Amino acid sequence: MNRDRFDFSSHPLLTKGPHDCIPFLESIIQDETSYQDYRISCLPRRLFATHIPCSLLPASVMSSGCKIVYVFHETKDVLVSNWHYMKKLRLKDLPSFPIEDAFDLFCKGVSHYGPFWDHVSGYWKASLENPDKVLFLTYENMKKDPIVCLTKLAKFLDKPFCLEEEREEVVQEIVKLCSFENLSSLEINQTGVLHFSPQISLENRHFLRKGQVGDWTNHLTVEMGEQLDEITRQKLCGLV
């Protein structure tokens, strides 16, 4: 979205964490005052991240020029990723939180933003009803063929790559800049800290743990994986 404003040698992603460049709505807009403060200071092209379910978005999101890019990640990997993340946020004086407990809660639909399967189906249906407003991507396809996904993303955002950009391999440069390997190696993402609020902070490195597809096999039993697969089949009924 901002490739005409920055070059690859001075891009903000080189010196700022990804979530400082694209902040979470939930962390910057906590009340009316914080919303007004951010609205005044934000960039012309506003990019936000969010975990808010589609059903809780205001109607103005769909009626405005806003566009939504939803990234679906395989259910078992989502559980493991969430488990690692919440262990980092968990207060030190609380008891341990084994993967078995996280698995049990996840299967019951207990999650920070509602049941995972409801979250996915909400945005999937929105992408079918409003394909010009909602783009549904999968993390697995992004890893498998990032150039195809990036080209599709640019077109969806009305910022398609021109012939000159293709000749100059701009697409490949963006993939390289935004790759897990590159971002995780940057000093800002090894030592930097993201401040969600005065009470909550998290080191940037915890947002870039492995970036692998199928890491769940290192944490879940075969039986746990099969149970999650069965729930996913029942809940999503072949939607994704």
- Catalytic positions are 51
Which ranges in the chain belong to alpha helices (H)? Answer: 18-21, 25-28, 32-41, 59-63, 75-89, 99-107, 116-129, 139-144, 146-156, 163-167, 170-178, 180-185, 187-191, 222-236
Strand partners, 201: 195
Provide the pairing of β-strand 193-195 with 201-203.
Answer: antiparallel
Strand partners, 72: 138
CA-only gyration radius of the chain, Å? 19
Q: Which of 202, 209, 16, 52 is nearest to 2 (CA)?
A: 16
